Homo-oligomer: A and B are copies of this chain.
């Protein structure tokens, strides 16, 4: 696998060989656990799935409040966690922020969990 690039605020999603191939080292385990923690929340999984299944895998924050029935600050917090962990990117357009799926992040984790 390619060496990870030091991108701002985006942890290297491709951390390591599949779990079934060789034992994870301590540092890789920390990185993978922190990405999985960002995913391991029902509200974040639902938000991520709404963005991921939207046209162009992008959604306005204005369309992410109502479906979950959560307060806007709560939704914003969850979106920030997902963005920091590299699953989403954020762009501001006028009043609203738009969130887009980062296409590499989920497949990279899937590739660690199971041998391709």
Contacts and interface: CB of A to CB of B under 8 A. Distances in A.
A40 B33 CA distance: 4
B19 A49 contact: yes
How many monomers of this protein are in the complex? 2
Given A106-B114, A107-B114, A113-B109, A45 B33 contact: yes
Chain A's interface size range is 35 or more
A34 B20 CA distance: 22
A111 B111 CA distance: 10
A49 B37 contact: no
Contacts of A39: 33, 36, 40, 113
Contacts of A106: 19-20, 113-114
